[in-house]
Structure 1
Amino acid sequence: MSTVDNRRGGSALSGGQAIWLVAEREIGSKLRSKAFVISTAILFLGALALVIWAGFQASSTSGTPVAVTTDASQYVEGVEGLEITDVPDRAAAEDLVTSGDVDAAIVGDSSSPLGFAVVAESSAPTQLLLQLSQLPPVELLEPDDVNAALGYIAALGFGIVFLFAASMFGGTIAQSVVEEKQTRVVELLISAIPVRSLLAGKVIGNTVLAMGQILILAAVAIVGLTVTDQTELLKGLGGPIAWFAVFFLFGFILLAALFAAAASMVSRMEDVGSTTTPLTMLIMAPYFLVIFFNDNPLVLGIMSYVPFSAPVGMPMRIFLGEAQWWEPLVSLAILVATCVAAILIGARIYENSLLRMGARVKLSEALAG
């Protein structure tokens, strides 16, 4: 606020200058907050560790360690996922099992209808039994382009990032607005700059911080996948991540304007939840929908065109290869139009409620002015 006060003695601020001063104040206050810096650093380090661990797990070629006798070697030919130690007889195989050098042993057994038996110490490894099971060949007429497990991981990633960033910065905006009303700081601010410039500055400042986190997280994912040599997965995620950043930009501006407007309707921190809870539910809904319905084309298709869930639904459909080339453009156009409408409505509510102290302002009164 000192920057604003220092300039009040001079010429009147233009709209752009006023917006930038407020945005600068919002960004500076967050970057000076130790809690914000520490939590952000933990988020980035945790994301990097998770991506690297997942990449190494996916690229690991080690299999189940087993001992195989000479008379049983023919039964494991072509079986993937085994780390085989050849032994001459059953006694040697049992010794390795007892010593813990292998998880189990595969030995010849004339009494078995399969011609071999599995020897283990206390229980046979389930993964080994599945690997040895005889399954019929499977032919897929329309195979999926994306592995189901990778689809779930992508859904989890998009959902968590959207939920975390939108809820954290949305809550920050709401808290900032109410604090300024409680301390009467807002009266000093709007004596220097227009109310709408104050709202625009808050939205832009927090949008810059949120997009900064999104871009750094994208860089973390790229670095992690590169280090673990997951080039194929990286190629598949490149486009969806880029679209996610674009959709998140407009989706966050929409939510930020509504959070500021909702918070301006109350004068006490204890009451802010009563006006922002519906917005919080809108943020949580896409996360749960994409987690539970990440393999449901109908639900994802609807999500990709609803403005509040499009930042999660459309990138997910692009990753799965279900979206046509024109669909992201149409969805983005709907989101931008909704964003403009939300800004206009939010600015009206914010302008009509900001200086009203005491009881909560009703929505109808805030809209009517």
Structure 2
Amino acid sequence: MNGSFAASVQLVAVREVQARLRSKAFVVSACILVLMVVASIVVGGIVGKATAGDTTPVAVADGVSLPTTTGLDVTHTSTAKEAERLVRSGDVDAAVVPSDDPLGYAVVGLHDAPTDVVQALSASPRVDLLDPDAIPGGLVYLVALAFGVVYFASAVTFGQSIAQSVVEEKSTRVVEILMAAIPARALLAGKVIGNSVMAFAQIVAVAIAAAVALAVTGQDNMFTVLGPSMLWFVGFFAIGFVLIAALFAAAAVLVSRQEDVGSVTTPVMMLVMIPYVLIIVAYDDPTILGVMSYVPFSAPIGMPMRIFLGTAEWWEPVLSLVVVAVSVVLVVLVGARVYENALLRTGGRVKLTEALRG
């Protein structure tokens, strides 16, 4: 790359970045995405702590030996009458007092049978876990949903921005002025790089906000579990989005009107939407996740998810990243040819075969 070409690319890239930063819609949508991720983490932490600390207040009179106090907030009293008084006043939900029953105690309620206390005191069999370190299914689904939403929202937002920018320049004939100063490949490279930088910055902002939210809410263990997969997700997105950006630009350059953008970018939208749907409906399917890990359009979601689940060997993320990088090079080369050949052709829709032939 010579100095003139590099300077042209830099000029276009800076212009794209400035255009995104000046867009109120982009700033608002980026803030909403970050706030959604932070809110989900905060709410999850609050619910988890509330569930973990959910206990039933109960008064226990002297002379009673409980088999367990798990799930109970015990208040000890000297007599059974004192324990019953706490029940009547509403300070506790139930009282456990001495009794001549075989168990040696009885449970006293106010109006209804205190089922929570009865269940807590009931004898339960021993439970042996075959995989005590397994990740809860609900958490797996939430992580898959987070990866899918962040990937889909970022790819569509910046991809559509590229497409609209390309068509706007064609419809207003601004591109003819630009082509007189810089080559078409520099214009394409600048658009892809500029929007890729902004998309990458948004993903990094989401990752940092998520890490801070986990630390502030005391979910350090979750940060340890999520950390590696989050880092790989950022890395995969940084490379994979270049492929998506090139496809959006190559598709949009085939038309000259904003009304036609949707028709030519629909195939690219489907390539982005399919991984999003798959990760939601098959987030724990090892076969589907394995295939997704090596398909360029879905690897940014599939491989980080497998890393989170611990089902990927150490070398698989590296191999998957190489596959994505090679795919990016091929798509960018083809996309550049289409973009260069169709950029100055206005009027009707340009056929893809014609753009490839030149």
Q: TM-score range by the shorter chain?
A: 0.7 to 0.9
Aligned residue among 77, 91, 95 for 2:88 = 95
Pairs within 5 Å for 1:201-280: 201-280=190-269
Assess, with a 3 A threshold, how the Cα gap between structure 1 residues 138 and 193 changes in structure 2: closer, same or farther: same
Higher mean displacement: 326-335 or 60-69: 60-69
8 A Cα contact 2:33 2:150, kept in partner: no
Question: How far did residue 128 of structure 1 move?
Answer: 7.0
Assess, with a 3 A threshold, how the Cα gap between structure 1 residues 367 and 157 changes in structure 2: closer, same or farther: same
Question: How far did residue 142 of structure 1 move?
Answer: 4.0
Q: Does residue 195 of the first structure (1) align with residue 184 of the second (2)?
A: yes
Q: Residue 314 of structure 2 corresponds to which residue in structure 1? A: 325
Assess, with a 3 A threshold, how the Cα gap between structure 1 residues 131 and 218 changes in structure 2: closer, same or farther: farther
Higher mean displacement: 268-277 or 285-294: 285-294
Q: Does residue 157 of the first structure (1) align with residue 146 of the second (2)?
A: yes
What SS class does the counterpart of residue 135 from structure 2 fall into? coil
Equivalent pairs counted in the alignment come to 352
Where do 5+ consecutive residues of structure 1 fail to align? 1-11
What SS class does the counterpart of residue 67 from structure 1 fall into? strand
8 A Cα contact 1:75 1:116, kept in partner: no
Q: Residue 70 of structure 1 corresponds to which residue in structure 2? A: 61
Question: How far did residue 64 of structure 1 move?
Answer: 3.0
Question: How far did residue 73 of structure 1 move?
Answer: 6.0
Q: Distance in 2 between matches of 1:179 and 1:187?
A: 12
Q: Residue 137 of structure 1 corresponds to which residue in structure 2? A: 126
Q: Distance in 2 between matches of 1:63 and 1:356?
A: 67
Q: Distance in 2 between matches of 1:354 and 1:14?
A: 21
8 A Cα contact 1:18 1:193, kept in partner: yes
Q: Residue 52 of structure 1 corresponds to which residue in structure 2? A: 42
Q: Distance in 2 between matches of 1:286 and 1:332?
A: 16
In percent, how many aligned pairs have the same letter? 48
Q: Residue 21 of structure 2 corresponds to which residue in structure 1? A: 31
8 A Cα contact 1:65 1:85, kept in partner: no
Q: Distance in 1 between matches of 2:342 and 2:117?
A: 66
Matched letter for residue 40 of structure 1: A
> When the two structures are superposed, what TM-score results if normalisation uses the length of structure 1?
0.85
Matched letter for residue 197 of structure 2: V
Q: Distance in 1 between matches of 2:156 and 2:122?
A: 48
Matched letter for residue 77 of structure 1: T
Aligned residue among 288, 310, 315 for 1:299 = 288
Question: How far did residue 107 of structure 1 move?
Answer: 4.7
What SS class does the counterpart of residue 358 from structure 1 fall into? coil
8 A Cα contact 2:94 2:114, kept in partner: no
Question: How far did residue 172 of structure 1 move?
Answer: 0.8
8 A Cα contact 2:185 2:336, kept in partner: yes
Q: Residue 42 of structure 1 corresponds to which residue in structure 2? A: 32
Higher mean displacement: 305-314 or 48-57: 48-57
Q: Deviations over 1:256-289 (max 9, x none)?
A: 0000111111111111111111211221222222
Q: Distance in 1 between matches of 2:320 and 2:110?
A: 56
Q: Deviations over 1:344-366 (max 9, x none)?
A: 11111211222222222222222
What SS class does the counterpart of residue 191 from structure 1 fall into? helix
What SS class does the counterpart of residue 53 from structure 2 fall into? coil
Matched letter for residue 190 of structure 1: M
Assess, with a 3 A threshold, how the Cα gap between structure 1 residues 291 and 355 changes in structure 2: closer, same or farther: same
8 A Cα contact 1:151 1:294, kept in partner: yes
Higher mean displacement: 51-60 or 238-247: 51-60
Higher mean displacement: 299-308 or 39-48: 39-48
8 A Cα contact 1:251 1:339, kept in partner: yes
Matched letter for residue 67 of structure 1: V
8 A Cα contact 1:107 1:119, kept in partner: no
Q: Does residue 15 of the first structure (1) align with residue 5 of the second (2)?
A: yes
8 A Cα contact 1:64 1:128, kept in partner: no
Q: Deviations over 1:121-141 (max 9, x none)?
A: 67978x778756654333233
Assess, with a 3 A threshold, how the Cα gap between structure 1 residues 78 and 351 changes in structure 2: closer, same or farther: same
Query: Considering only aligned residues, what root-mean-square deviation do their CA atoms show, in Å?
Result: 2.9
Q: Deviations over 1:153-204 (max 9, x none)?
A: 2212211110111111111111111111111111111111111111110000
Q: Residue 338 of structure 2 corresponds to which residue in structure 1? A: 349
Q: Distance in 2 between matches of 1:35 and 1:70?
A: 64
Matched letter for residue 349 of structure 1: V
Q: Does residue 167 of the first structure (1) align with residue 156 of the second (2)?
A: yes
Q: Distance in 2 between matches of 1:341 and 1:244?
A: 22
